[in-house]
Structure 1
């Protein structure tokens, strides 16, 4: 892409007044910015009819901008995160899909040297095994981030152009780009730039379609993890017993051989000795009173998919449970655990039934549901947090 072309587009966009900082007035009128984006896309090789079709009707989306700038209303504790992402329903669906796609997953494992259960778990966490496509039409979400966003506009502009190029090449139909507010799409949620670097055509139809082809989506995920350093010669890690009062090294950057960790007093969760040359790090995501894990560099590969320890552990745990492995043994340090997806849906129904109107129940905890939870917490004498927890669920009659 010509540098001068970028400068011209930036001048047009800045001249439209979109980045004035207000969410009123000019920020709502993004038509001139979108028009400039269409021209830039065509200059970058996108077919004019594709650019027109995919950006037609793009208008200001308050939800995209809010998601891009706001912080969560409460800190998501790891026990909330795990209860929601690794619940009985997802484990059951994971086992069903493991059986259904066994040959594809086995072939992918052989080609990319990535554990098929890990690949399956990423699929399950990212899109509920392809059942959830996302709430946003990718080109329109990205156009908002370029034209009305307050940060990383240049990055999102590049992602938008790449999205249009992917459709223009015919890999993914223009109408199928549904995903996150930030532009990730497909059954395993690739950003367009990641797609260009690491997506693969595993089903051999000549297209890299991460939306409609399960083999392409899963193989692309395996390729991503391999590129991030995953090696099937080592496990992601495992839960361990940490000695009472332990004050030694901890954290992802404090790596040592397994034998060294054994010498520091750590044991396997079943009490067995720890030994070996493989390097690992001790993480204690809920502090000294919660579970501890020794994790290898394969865990870092999981975190490269989403830079979150909670995310990495959700993938790891789901991969264990879909293959009939053991759950984590040490309980999370809370007497008020999180809720599964089914329980969150039931919580919304209970809130409505008890007069705390949260709208149509869908299992998604947004601002309206949190407001209803806060009102219920206040009524029942609970700490007012807006958190979908067991205590408020139980107080409302949940079982």
Structure 2
């Protein structure tokens, strides 16, 4: 089988991952009209259901999943049984997922510097330097993605930088182990992760790769851009035209991120967020809530520059320690939140990408000046 990532065993722990694990209702691209089961966890076990060993040998969810894949996708049963019998149940994955579960928390009464602490994880001199190197190495692909999808290089670079430090932190968990554990032994999200495992195994079959070899995040996110399998299915593209879609290839990842943003409503050339003066008293903060500009003005917030044709915006509040910054969140900012539903994440993507852009421009200027002597 073709190997996408022969060196992934050497990759360090993932430190930043947006799992893109929102539920999806998308159906498989290989639907069969004779399907008898509607879910990987539904239906009766067939007489042929069996696993010869491994951590999931007696797991009925795993056995039903195999029947489902054979019924719906005509997947080779012996191949599935081999892969799943060699998959490992990872207690560490369940523990990490439990930490992601929402828990009640009391909000502090005043600013504590939460945004500054988050920001400094990503926007550092070394990280910007590495981002410049990535941009310069892949400038042609970034420019082509901009021309094709309308998404500027700094946004693509920002996403890949926050997600994987431009390929330096891709994750070391075997994806089959992670997805099998969450599909078969994590009831809280089993339906969702069973669909992700389904799509992951279809990808392995279509791309002729060994499902045991692929590594990524503990939640199943893959490659430079940390797509979940469902995002791979919907948005990943063969951007280097080699006949394969490989998210561990930076060029395919660049094109796939750009395609994701285009499909989620990115408006080429439009602003992302505008700094505000004052504050919006009585209004809810966050990208989920949008208000007419007149309502924001009446609440005490004014933009520091023109909002262009925008007639409504969300109010973004960033805790900078001594006080709060207030921003008008526009439609392109909302599009960034489709990648990860966090104001901090989306602002870090934008500001990191912008910092790298300015550093690239300074480097290009210095190179042109030096060439004149």
TM-score of the pair, normalised by structure 2: 0.72
User: CA shift at 1:134, angstroms?
Assistant: 1.1
Does the 8 A contact of 2:280 with 2:315 survive in 1?
A: no
Superposition pairs for residues 55-204 of structure 1, below 5 Å? 55-71=84-100, 77-170=114-207, 174-204=211-241
Gapped runs of 5+ residues in structure 2?
1-30, 46-53, 108-112, 360-373
Alignment match of 2:74 (pick from 45, 48, 69):
45
* Cα distance in 1 for residues equivalent to 2:314 and 2:332: 11
* Cα distance in 1 for residues equivalent to 2:161 and 2:207: 26
- Structure 2 match to 1:354: none
- How big is the alpha-carbon RMSD for the aligned residues of Structure 1 and Structure 2? 3.2
Asked if 1:313 is matched to 2:350, the reply is no
User: CA shift at 1:313, angstroms?
Assistant: 0.7
As a proportion of its length, which structure holds more helix? 1
User: CA shift at 1:174, angstroms?
Assistant: 3.0
Inter-CA distance 192–257: structure 2 relative to 1 (3 Å threshold): same
User: CA shift at 1:139, angstroms?
Assistant: 1.5
* Cα distance in 1 for residues equivalent to 2:208 and 2:155: 26
Does the 8 A contact of 2:40 with 2:64 survive in 1?
A: no
Deviations 1:313-369 (A, max 9, x none): 1101101100117xxxxxxxxxxxxxxxxxxxxxxxxxxxxxxxxxxxxxxxxxxxx
* Cα distance in 2 for residues equivalent to 1:263 and 1:6: 49
- Structure 2 match to 1:376: none
Q: SS of the counterpart of 1:254?
A: strand
Q: SS of the counterpart of 1:293?
A: strand
Alignment match of 2:273 (pick from 237, 240, 243):
237
Deviations 1:18-59 (A, max 9, x none): xxxxxxxxxx95323344434433332334465345434223
- Structure 1 match to 2:250: 214
Q: Which moved more, 1:170-179 or 1:81-90?
A: 170-179
Deviations 1:96-115 (A, max 9, x none): 11111111100000100111
Inter-CA distance 71–202: structure 2 relative to 1 (3 Å threshold): closer
Tell me how many residue pairs correspond in the alignment. 304
Alignment match of 1:31 (pick from 57, 76, 81):
57
User: CA shift at 1:298, angstroms?
Assistant: 0.6
- Structure 2 match to 1:280: 313
Q: SS of the counterpart of 1:294?
A: strand
Does the 8 A contact of 1:118 with 1:316 survive in 2?
A: yes
* Cα distance in 2 for residues equivalent to 1:86 and 1:187: 18
Asked if 1:295 is matched to 2:321, the reply is no
Gapped runs of 5+ residues in structure 1?
14-27, 326-399
Asked if 1:227 is matched to 2:227, the reply is no
User: CA shift at 1:130, angstroms?
Assistant: 1.3
